[in-house]
Homo-oligomer: A and B are copies of this chain.
Amino acid sequence: MIEYYSQEIHGPFHIWELGDFHLEEGGVLRGAWLAYATFGTLNEARDNAILIPTWYSGTSKIWEDVYIGPGRALDPEKYFIVVVNQLGSGLSISPHNAPFPSNGPRFPHVRIGDDVRAQHRLITEHFGIERLALVVGGSMGAQQTWEWAVRYPEMVARAAPMAGTAKNTSHDFIFTETLMDAITSDPAFRGGFYGHPSEVHQGLLAHAKLWTVMGWSTEFFAAGRPAELGFTTMDDFVTNFMFATFAPMDPNNLLCMAWKWQRGDVSRHTGGDLAAALARVKAKTFVMPIDEDMFFPPRDCEREQKLTPGAEFRVLRSIDGHLALFGADPAFLEQVDEALGELLDSPA
């Protein structure tokens, strides 16, 4: 059996050493590293770089497979594209691969701001890039995109947070908590000291069912999309798509990301004042929610767009809901390409 968090499945990716990385919550990731993938070539002016932070449970691989390619908006023939796997993702330092004893459930709490500070070091120290042509990400990647635009406003020329918010909502917080509870309530989880991750199969199955309920939309099922994707019954879809997606993942990794997701909030920079935080943004920003998203709904995103100088609101339409991000709806990808293409062509 091939190890899931591997070059075989998620590569090729590169490793960059962060050393001992101090966290906003006060802990330290000792011997930390980022795993990242690049596409295209950095030009001499070093001004054609695009940064993409990853979403919950996803890695750089899905960006490579679904969003990046010649002729696409994210075109490696024009841009130098850096996809950085978030802390806890399983490729960058994470509970399952951290050195003992700060591994597993002892892995310290990580925040979106930690990801962005780590990425900032990679971008500036390793690549010598002073300004990014674009930061784009979906879901937790949108949280990191917003954090970039608020924390380093001079460095972000353009920003495209898709299907995610600058400040997480209380509703989204409790949804994420149900995902976490699904895992931790499995007796086999044993406080995070399970043997093999697959022992937590009941928890991972419950987690997959919750994603089934909230990840797509009611219309996704009403329209028979699971059948279109090759699944004959709801059980078949839950087992062979949703559970299959999450089953090989490490439960402590998922919990690390979920804790971080719950607390995404750029207003930490401004004493809780979201308007003041978003007023700092200098990037040309397209706020891109998905119309059928059940937990990052357009209305929540639009309130943030209105607080962001010069930002535009571009709703992506797909009955695949939040998980349109997976790329199973070609019309969705066309809309993403169109919006990102226009954004990249905008002066900034």
Contacts and interface: CB of A to CB of B under 8 A. Distances in A.
Interface stretch (A73-81, A140-148, A180-188, A336-344): A180-188
A171 B209 CA distance: 10
B213 A171 contact: yes
A313 interface: no
Interface string A203-225: 00010011011101011111000
Interface stretch (A109-117, A253-261, A291-299): A291-299
Contact of A219 (B174, B218, B299): B299
A169 interface: yes
A170 interface: yes
Contact of A294 (B178, B210, B212, B294): B294
Number of copies of this kind of chain in the complex: 2
Nearest to A186: B185
At the interface, is chain A mostly helix, strand, loop or mixed? helix
B210 A169 contact: no
A219 B297 CA distance: 9
Nearest to A242: B174
Interface string A148-186: 000000000000000000000111111101100110011
A234 interface: yes
Given A218-B300, A222-B300, A299-B222, A185 B206 contact: yes
A132 interface: no
Interface of A: 169-175, 177-178, 181-182, 185-187, 202, 206, 209-210, 212-214, 216, 218-222, 226, 234, 238, 294-295, 297, 299-300, 303
Nearest to A296: B218
25 contacts: A169-B218, A169-B221, A169-B222, A170-B221, A170-B226, A171-B213, A171-B218, A171-B222, A172-B218, A173-B234, A174-B212, A174-B213, A174-B234, A178-B209, A178-B210, A181-B182, A181-B209, A185-B186, A185-B202, A185-B206, A218-B295, A218-B299, A218-B300, A219-B297, A222-B303
Contacts of A226: 170
List the 5 closest A-B pairs by CB distance, nearest first. Answer: A171-B221, A170-B234, A175-B213, A218-B297, A171-B218
Contacts of A206: 178, 181, 185
Given A170-B234, A174-B213, A218-B299, 8 more contacts: A169-B221, A170-B226, A174-B209, A175-B213, A178-B206, A185-B202, A218-B297, A222-B300
Contacts of A238: 174
A240 B192 CA distance: 29
Contacts of A169: 218, 221-222
A114 to B, nearest CB: 24
A317 to B, nearest CB: 15
